Structure 1
Amino acid sequence: MKVKSILRTISVLAAGVMAVSSFTACSGSSSGTSETTAAASSAAATGSEKGVLRVGMECAYAPFNWTQVSEEVSNGDTAVPIYGGGGYAYGYDVMVAKMLAEELGMDLEVHKVEWDSIGISMDSGEYDCIIAGMGRTSERMLSYSFTEPYYYRSNCVVVKKGSDIENITGLSDLAGKNVIATTQLGTGWVPLLDQIPDVTLGANYETTAEVFMALSNETANVAVIDIPTAQSALLTNTDLKLITLADGDTFVGDEEMTNVCIATRKDDTELRDKLQAAMDAVGLDRDKMNSMMEEAISVQPAAN
């Protein structure tokens, strides 16, 4: 009888364990947004009970984002440690990301990623949104969901001082010059290069720093870029000149590159809407955007 009683007890306990295991497995396989799953796993990894806003950016696109060696910033703010090590991230994008994370009651996690894989890495689940000076183009809208702009930028060209094109005021002035043009790979500026009269398309580069180096080395004669990035570069590249092209003699269809927006995965409209609500709540209007961008330019380290 004792043996039968013991066996009966073991059988009951085993059944209970199986039931609990079965319930846990079902719970784990239940559907939920990628945002919720990713935030939960990231929160567990950091030991935080708060949700985690996981953001992808280059950390190499000043003044929007850059890498620095310490967390100190001359404006009294602090840079954000880059996930996995490799320094600290700061710049306009980081300022915005910190503001939104605070509004949402979330911890901020910055992931450093090369530009040509920034969308692929988000789709694979490495992070949940892109805050990286990304223009909202019609092509990108087929693959990602976007907030309204968190910055509005204007485009320009950059040339080398002392060259025969340093005093141009419009695209028509480049006719017959047979300039070599360049820009950053995978951006909305690439299609604009063909609008330069008599242009020779040069190599495009992974980072904007390489774009400006090509001008300095005279590997290229003209770079198409945005004004904040050019202003930032000219702080250290004093041999270059920023030119704002005259209305009516500039690029056609470059409006898409003026709208800098936050991107989420195409089906992650829940996170997109949360970020939009946070943007609205903090009052990120054009005056605030411009003020923050001026500050970002003023505090960038010389190395960026």
Structure 2
Amino acid sequence: MKNLILATSALAITAGLALTAGMAMADGHGKTIRLGTEGAYPPYNFLNDAGEVDGFERAVGDELCARAELTCEWVTNEWDSIIPNLVSGNYDVIIAGMSITDERDEVIDFSDPYTLPDPSSYLAMGELDLSGAVIAAQAGTIQASHIASMEGATLVEFATPEETVAAVKNGEADAVLADKSFLAPIAEEDGDLQLLEQDELLGGGIGLGIRESDGELREKFNTAIQSMKADGSLNALIAKWLPEAAQF
């Protein structure tokens, strides 16, 4: 799903900073593990009417914490700084629809994936030739990177997913490229918008982002993820929240 194109500032975070933060967090014994998410990318994560984190990743995260016997709490963070704030110790885990990529793995570690790669789709006002289109994407995502590599296409980036859709509706962009699970409900609710037939399979599945120094915490979550895969409970949540996504 969404894949951060690591900014220079994120890459410049030193190993010493990561180690210091990791020592402070240790492996989760005797402390509350803070789960950081964006809270703005339904159905993966969003804020409900009560202002609480909700969605697929809320359900997955709560179950993983229960199986790992960890006390957890949820915090939200803007997408563009979500990795630096993990490394600096503002929370202990990223669970925010973050695809596993080599670029990110240079800065943080990942758990085993809790989803397989999700198709990305184009949302537009009607059929169009993508090779010459202006296409919107959320900044710092693999969708943005993909558009930038398309011959003839023009990339326009926005800070939030909602802004990318608004750009199509107000004429700033011809289409938006994002996860199909995010765009499909929008197309169903808005008669002026439609999904194009062409999909893109990007990324390597979604995992928890964890500091490189927190190996014991990563293994606790890996054990819990494998447990959910084995008993079918992870596939049940995928079917509920991400009906078009592949299952394990």
TM-score, length of structure 1 as denominator length: 0.66
How far did 1:194 drift? 2.7
Question: Which AA in structure 1 matches 2:240?
Answer: E
1:61 paired with 2:41, answer yes
How far did 1:238 drift? 3.6
Structure 2 counterpart of 1:266: 212
SS class of match (1:54): strand
Change (3 A) 1:143 1:96: same
Structure 2 counterpart of 1:295: 240
Question: Which AA in structure 2 matches 1:127?
Answer: Y
The separation in 2 between residues aligned to 1:260 and 1:32, in whole angstroms, is 22
SS class of match (1:151): coil
Q: Percent identity?
A: 26
Question: Which AA in structure 2 matches 1:34?
Answer: A
Change (3 A) 1:33 1:291: same
The separation in 1 between residues aligned to 2:190 and 2:33, in whole angstroms, is 34
Question: Which AA in structure 2 matches 1:116?
Answer: D
| Cα displacement string for residues 233-272 of structure 1 (whole angstroms, at most 9, x for unaligned residues) | 3344342212342xxxx65xx54x2411111012222111
Structure 1 counterpart of 2:80: 116
The separation in 1 between residues aligned to 2:242 and 2:226, in whole angstroms, is 24
CA RMSD of aligned residues (A): 2.5
Question: Which AA in structure 2 matches 1:240?
Answer: L
1:280 paired with 2:226, answer yes
Question: Which AA in structure 2 matches 1:272?
Answer: R
TM-score, length of structure 2 as denominator length: 0.80
Structure 2 counterpart of 1:239: 192
1:156 paired with 2:124, answer no
Q: Quick check: 216-225 or 54-63, which moved more?
A: 216-225
SS class of match (1:267): coil
Structure 2 counterpart of 1:187: 141
The separation in 2 between residues aligned to 1:94 and 1:124, in whole angstroms, is 23
Bigger Rg over Cα: 1
Structure 1 counterpart of 2:16: none
Structure 1 counterpart of 2:130: 174
Structure 2, gaps ≥5 residues long = 1-20, 244-248
2:68·2:223 contact (CA, 8 Å) conserved in 1?
no
Structure 1, gaps ≥5 residues long = 1-30, 41-49, 71-86, 166-172, 299-304
The separation in 1 between residues aligned to 2:191 and 2:33, in whole angstroms, is 37
| Cα displacement string for residues 15-70 of structure 1 (whole angstroms, at most 9, x for unaligned residues) | xxxxxxxxxxxxxxxx9843338x57xxxxxxxxx642211001111010001122
1:51·1:105 contact (CA, 8 Å) conserved in 2?
no
| Cα displacement string for residues 150-209 of structure 1 (whole angstroms, at most 9, x for unaligned residues) | 11211222212xx342xxxxxxx534xx3111111111111100343421222x112111
How far did 1:91 drift? 0.6
Question: Which AA in structure 1 matches 2:142?
Answer: G
2:39·2:47 contact (CA, 8 Å) conserved in 1?
yes
2:229·2:235 contact (CA, 8 Å) conserved in 1?
no
Change (3 A) 1:164 1:104: closer
1:34 paired with 2:14, answer no
1:96 paired with 2:80, answer no
The separation in 1 between residues aligned to 2:234 and 2:194, in whole angstroms, is 24
Relative contact order, higher structure (CA 8 A, sep 6+)? 2
The separation in 1 between residues aligned to 2:216 and 2:134, in whole angstroms, is 44
How far did 1:283 drift? 2.4
SS class of match (2:39): coil
The separation in 2 between residues aligned to 1:290 and 1:183, in whole angstroms, is 28
